[in-house]
Amino acid sequence: MVARAGAGAGPAVVFLHGGGPGASGWSNWRLALEALGDRYDCIAPDYVGYGESTHPEPPPTDMRVWTRMRLDQVIGMLDALEIERAHLVGNSLGGALTLHLLMEAPERFERAVLMGTAGGPSSDRPSQELIRMVTFYSDPSPEALGRLYSWFVHDPDDFDGDLDQIAQDRFAMTMRDDVRRSYVAQFSGPSQLTLPDSALRRIQHPILLVHGRDDMINPVSDSYHFLKVLPNAQLYVFGRCGHWTQLEYPQRFNHLVDEFLRGAL
């Protein structure tokens, strides 16, 4: 499944979604696709193991295997769409995949935005909120999904949306047998998302790091680390913002992405 807006409108931008239960290309990036589809060819796939994409049976239990399948999936998608080069925008798990893509196929990509990206130093000491996310299926319910989503934002009372309704809308997808099987399998073994600093220092692409100051899933300190080691990176921190920058501050986020991809930042 690939959500797409603005085919042929401008440079291609691949949006890579996060790794929470119920995540998909459309659910993570709907507002960005709607805002940027008049200027860019916006493409947001569901990863292998998420949403309407392929669900291997039996599923691998090593994140390295899932990562390899997803990297091949993105490159294969670009080949199928006859897109030679694209920008990347990655959220959380999608940020980690973005870094892997920049390292493995640098010639296929131009600029990259990493939002609340995973794979930083905190991977060795995950937050309780992140642990609850990856073990969601130990006790799944719409209420538990709503509580989890409340940790993705700075202040649920200030969030311009209904987190309980979002949880209700996504819960049926999370409880599909294939979706549940893939999710449990990918987080049952080694994570192995982190790239060594020696690899990060070789990535020459212009990179915009975007992070919520109050992110409880992947702390903002991870982006400060990436800022130190990525040669051509800059960082923008949103105050009073959690893990869902693209949903908490959609207008500002989409404007920032547009400015950066145009080379105005």
Q: Is 200 left (phi over 0), alpha (psi -120 to 50) or beta?
A: alpha
Helix (H) or strand (E) holding 168: helix 163-174
Nearest 10 degrees: Cα torsion 147, 132, 23, 29: 70
- In the chain, DSSP assigns E strands to 2-5, 12-16, 41-45, 86-91, 109-115, 207-212, 233-238
Enumerate the active-site residues: 92, 215, 243
Cβ–Cβ contacts within 10 Å for residue 186, how many?
24
Dist CA 151 CA 244 (whole Å): 10
